[in-house]
Amino acid sequence: MQLNFETENKENSQVLLKITVDKGEIKTHYQDFLQKAQNDVMIKGFRKGKAPLSILEAKFKKNILAEVSNKVIDEAFKDIYDKLERKPLSYTTPRMEKFELPELENDYTFELIYETEPEVKIGQYKGLAIPERKIVKIKPKDLTENLTRYQKQFATIEKKDGPIGETDIVQVEYKAFDGEEEIDTKDNEYIYMDKDYDTYKLAKDLIGLKEGEEKEFEKKFDKKAIERIAGKTIKFKVKIKDVKSELLPELNDELAQKVDKEVKTLDELKEKVKGQLESVAEDITRQKISDEILEKIIETLEADIPQSMIDYQLDSYVKQAAQQMGGDEKRLEMYLKYQNKTIDSYKEEMKDQAVKNIKSSLILKKVIDEEKIDATEDEVKDYLGKIAEKYKMNKDEIYESYKKMGTLEMVKNEVNTNKALDFLIDSANVKKTTELSLSEYEEKEAKEQA
């Protein structure tokens, strides 16, 4: 197609694209559509396909020019796409500025405006000073706690006559009051004493009670609690209906085989679990220092992030949340409704995180460009090899599968991103390191988030 184009950068990472198509192209397309109209349209007084073109033009010229415009705009944009220095975001659609029908005797000029990735400037990113790096290591306590979880999966439940302990399962009935107003009542609720599953976190208030006993008490809730009790003091009347305890099976070869059919002995299970925990610890260690480095670089970032990037990121959060509920967005809506939230309020809540993730992604792309990071075919194969090992697939087969689907470039981008993170971590100027066990790390994180 004979055309020329020019671009102009606008505010908010928008690009104005001006395209001029040669009038010869317009005439050719016009004649094609006119001929098609002659073949397809019935005109009173003429057989199909025999109506004079002059009559068709008089009756349908504007409609035909509109068809020409649509086709020319579409073809012209496709024709120049690869030549655009700043391309549209893949999840957005360019919009027309000042739409006008083409004229047969003139070149056809039209303007499109679209959003693109922002131009990025960052400050120093090499050798950033990190006061302290926390390294998570697997200690015997971590292994013991994970093996205990497996024991709990195969535990038996027995009725208990004594006082409630910290690992028991308690059936209760209760009423909750805000002042004199009853706000909730339950006839049969099970409270797992070593977990925080129940709405009001009553476990600690029940320790020492026995079946049949009753207790009245008040409980102060902070502002992070669900809306109807946030910041309030709630009065409870609780009756213990039943108390049960868990009997854990012996930790031996027989249990190990129930837990994992691929192992035959307890020692094999321990080695496998330890390897899995070490992988988790490595990921946490890497993630913590990555986050700290990226936060420092974000402070220096200059980038005009378009709203469509934020909206796309927020939509992805909603899809992920829905997938965790079986892929059903209606179930997600019901879950949020119980927390006095909506999809829109959830998005608003996640907006800061979305912006942070976008900024981190832009920074890593900038580092990839600046450091000319380019993953080799072998590095891509090694990356896919780890995925293949995890899912017990053949390394070469999974590579060929990705290649056939045309998604190897996406995998290469992931490898490049990981290499950029490694570069930032390796170049960081760490002042001191502190070792934490996995359980110590999780306890500390829980306290910080409380």
CATH number at residue 78: 3.30.70.1050
pLDDT of residue 38: 87
| Residue 387, token pair as written in the block | 């995925």
Domain CATH code at residue 214? 3.10.50.30
Residue 146 counted as domain residue = no
Q: Identify the band that residue 214 occupies on the pLDDT scale cut at 50, 70 and 90.
A: very high
pLDDT of residue 230: 92
Residue 215 sits in the same domain as residue 290 = no
Residue 193 sits in the same domain as residue 286 = no
Dihedrals phi, psi of 94, to nearest 5 degrees: -60, 145
b/e map 249-261, b = 16+ CB within 10 Å: eebeeebbbebee
Distance between CA atoms of residues 297 and 390, nearest Å: 33
Contact present, 441 and 434 (Cβ < 8 Å): no
Contact present, 242 and 164 (Cβ < 8 Å): no
pLDDT of residue 450: 61
Tell me the pLDDT tens digit for each residue of 144-188: 999 999 999 999 999 999 999 999 999 999 999 999 999 999 999
Residue 65's CB: how many other CB atoms inside 10 A? Answer: 20
Distance between CA atoms of residues 342 and 335, nearest Å: 9
Contact present, 250 and 231 (Cβ < 8 Å): no
pLDDT at 300 over 80: yes
Contact present, 167 and 245 (Cβ < 8 Å): yes
Distance between CA atoms of residues 251 and 267, nearest Å: 11
Residue 268 sits in the same domain as residue 234 = no
pLDDT of residue 225: 87
The alpha carbon torsion through 385, 386, 392, 398 (nearest 10 deg) reads -40
Q: Identify the band that residue 195 occupies on the pLDDT scale cut at 50, 70 and 90.
A: confident
Give mean pLDDT, residues 43-71.
Answer: 89
DSSP state of 305: -
Write down the mean pLDDT value for the chain: 93
pLDDT at 449 over 80: no
Question: pTM here?
Answer: 0.78
Q: Identify the band that residue 396 occupies on the pLDDT scale cut at 50, 70 and 90.
A: confident
Domain boundary among 212, 247, 282: 247
Tell me the pLDDT tens digit for each residue of 32-49: 999 998 888 888 888 888
DSSP state of 117: P
Residue 256 counted as domain residue = no
Residue 239 counted as domain residue = yes
Domain boundary among 247, 281, 312: 247
| CA distance between the termini of the chain | 62
Residue 240: strand pairing partners: 172
Dihedrals phi, psi of 427, to nearest 5 degrees: -90, -10
Residue 294 sits in the same domain as residue 431 = yes
Tell me the pLDDT tens digit for each residue of 333-385: 998 988 889 999 999 999 999 999 999 999 999 999 999 999 999 999 999 99
Domain range spanning residue 175? Answer: 156-247
Q: Identify the band that residue 97 occupies on the pLDDT scale cut at 50, 70 and 90.
A: confident
Residue 234 sits in the same domain as residue 338 = no
Q: Report the domain count for the chain.
A: 3
Q: Which of 21, 28, 24 is nearest to 105 (CA)?
A: 24
SS3 category, 125: coil
Residue 254 counted as domain residue = no
Report the relative pairing of strands 129-137 and 429-437 from DSSP bridges: parallel
pLDDT of residue 198: 87
Residue 422's CB: how many other CB atoms inside 10 A? Answer: 13
Residues contacting residue 246 through CB under 8 Å, at least 6 positions apart: 152, 155, 156, 157, 167, 168, 169
Tell me the pLDDT tens digit for each residue of 104-130: 999 999 999 999 999 999 999 999 999
Residue 178 sits in the same domain as residue 268 = no
Residue 133: strand pairing partners: 433
Domain boundary among 189, 215, 247: 247
Contact present, 309 and 358 (Cβ < 8 Å): yes
Residue 393 sits in the same domain as residue 434 = yes
Q: Where are the beta strands (DSSP E) in 106-145?
A: 108-115, 129-137
pLDDT of residue 41: 85
Domain CATH code at residue 434? 1.10.3120.10
Tell me the pLDDT tens digit for each residue of 230-269: 999 999 999 999 999 999 999 999 999 999 999 999 999 9
For the ranges 1-10, 83-92, 176-185, 437-446, which has the lowest average pLDDT? 437-446
pLDDT of residue 26: 95
